[in-house]
Structure 1
């Protein structure tokens, strides 16, 4: 069973990283040969890669540690108590059918509702991000030396739209206010990757109206492990019940928060 000490063992995190890479190989194989989308809802799609990747993740992670499990495709039970694996077997499914080639496998661990471990793997660019509460963020096994931009006017801000149509007018208004201050804005279509890039300092801020746990847990652990701040649109510390997420350095979050507090 995991405990605070075992979570921080190098051997354990390496096992989780290997599982993420194996799932990423499934994703990359499907991406290389092309995939057919199946609509889960009017605006959400899934592929065979999602399902195969999640099955591998579930089997591998529960073999390491049998606790709660929630997957983007298969669902599961989540509570505010105990430990729960939270996985997105393929973040960026919309990108599977074309450009940009930005995809990720995301593995997070929630402990009593708090993200304490995160592993994110970008199989197209063979980039592996990992973090644990109280430890440095690592990229491909090496400690990440995060670059921190302190000037809000020079910030590169990433965002992601929700599939919920009712949120989009508000997101566009927020984006318009952000663009009055920022140097540039980007949409990756893979929120886990956006959060990982905030953690290592290649993006300065990320925001999104929807906070699906499968997209968020691993990346939020990374941002916080890097010394960053993650809040909801009201400026309160992010929790698993939050609506809306803003992640970045303390300075950037505070500088851009007024963009989200306006009606």
Structure 2
């Protein structure tokens, strides 16, 4: 398998997709809802996913595709080569802010992450990695992730999880938020994961994400020595929704042990 060629094609297609999104900024979006009134999708989400699928099908017809908008394959396993695509991660931000969103593209072989690309379209920042070959921001190598104690950490965390909700006991999160140096929320799982990779935040927690939200970011973070699991400390299941906990080494273990061990995630 020519992974350098796949990597090159993926970067080319992500850049082309970003250009298409930038051209849409002065046009009227067709906005629809999915599972609820705040789960939004636009015509651009659908068009960008279909763009990727057409390219992949043309060049790699034997590869499988899992996409957020449902234009890919229905998969019962991750056997073979699978592309996991989120055409616009952070659609609400895309609609309301025209920033703080990203294209997320992961390529896996038999369940193992081989390539990850996350493109911050507005800032023209492409975070990318191929397994065993380092991770980059555009052409600049990202440095390996170093340990940080909780008291000196900035944690990406949606405020929803620190107030009463139906997914978790929010009281378990309060001590972590209290002890950390600060918290942030950006509204895009892909960006929050690459911010961990780039050292802009030290950890990212979420209670419920889909495989295409996290597949690319997991490759990039792990390539730099970070740790990506669910909130139980288990390997992610890229066939279903799960919680997510991405963090620097050391910090990941200490948060699991000291803050999350009592949780029913």
Query: Normalized against structure 1, the TM-score is what?
Result: 0.88
Query: What is the alpha-carbon distance in structure 1 between the residues aligned to residue 24 and residue 206 of structure 2?
Result: 27
CA deviation after TM superposition for structure 1 residue 80, in Å:
3.0
Match of 2:74 among 72, 77, 93: 77
**Structure-2 separation of matches of 1:166 and 1:25:** 39
> Contact 2:230–2:243 (CA<8 Å) still a contact in 1?
yes
Is 1:94 matched up with 2:92?
Answer: yes
Q: Select the residue among 52, 55, 59 that pairs with 1:57.
A: 52
1:244 matched to which residue of 2?
243
Q: What secondary structure does 1:107 align onto?
A: strand
* Structure 1 position 116 matched with structure 2 position 111: no
Equivalent residue, structure 1, for 2:259: 259
8 Å CA contact 1:26, 1:52 repeated in 2: no
| CA RMSD after TM alignment | 2.1
Shift of 1:261: 2.4
Superposed displacement of residue 88, structure 1 = 0.3
Matched, 1:29 2:23: yes
Where 2:97 maps in the other structure, the secondary structure is coil
Q: Is the 8 A contact 2:177 2:183 kept in 1?
A: yes
Q: Given the alignment of the two structures, is residue 39 of structure 1 paired with residue 39 of structure 2, yes or no? A: no
Matches within 5 A, 1:174-193: 174-193=172-191
Cα-to-partner distance string for 1:127-171 (whole Å, 9 max, x where unaligned)? 001111112111112211245352221111113569xx732x54x
Displacement over 4 Å in runs of 4+: none
List alignment gaps of at least 5 residues for structure 1.
Answer: none
Residue 218 to residue 114, structure 1, CA distance change in 2 (3 Å): same
Residue 215 of structure 1, CA deviation: 0.5
Q: TM-score, normalised by structure 2?
A: 0.87
Partner SS for 1:237: coil
SS in structure 1 at match of 2:217: helix
What secondary structure is seen at the aligned counterpart in 2 of 1:31? coil
Helix, strand or coil at the partner of 1:209: strand
Structure 2 unmatched ranges of 5 or more: none
* Count of residue pairs brought into register by the alignment: 253
Contact between 2:105 and 2:117, CA under 8 Å: does it hold in 1? yes
Q: Secondary structure of 2:24's partner? A: helix
Deviation at 1:199, TM superposition (A): 1.3
> What secondary structure, in the 3-state scheme, does the structure 2 residue paired with 1:21 have?
helix
Provide the rounded CA distance (Å) in 2 between the counterparts of 1:41 and 1:140.
Answer: 35
* Cα offset, 1:224, TM superposition: 0.6
Determine if contact 2:82/2:109 at 8 Å carries over to the other structure.
yes
Tell me if the contact between 2:190 and 2:214 (Cα under 8 Å) persists in the aligned partners: yes
Preserved contact between residue 147 and residue 202 of structure 1 (Cα < 8 Å) = no
- 1:133-148 mapped onto 2 (5 Å cutoff): 133-146=131-144, 148=146
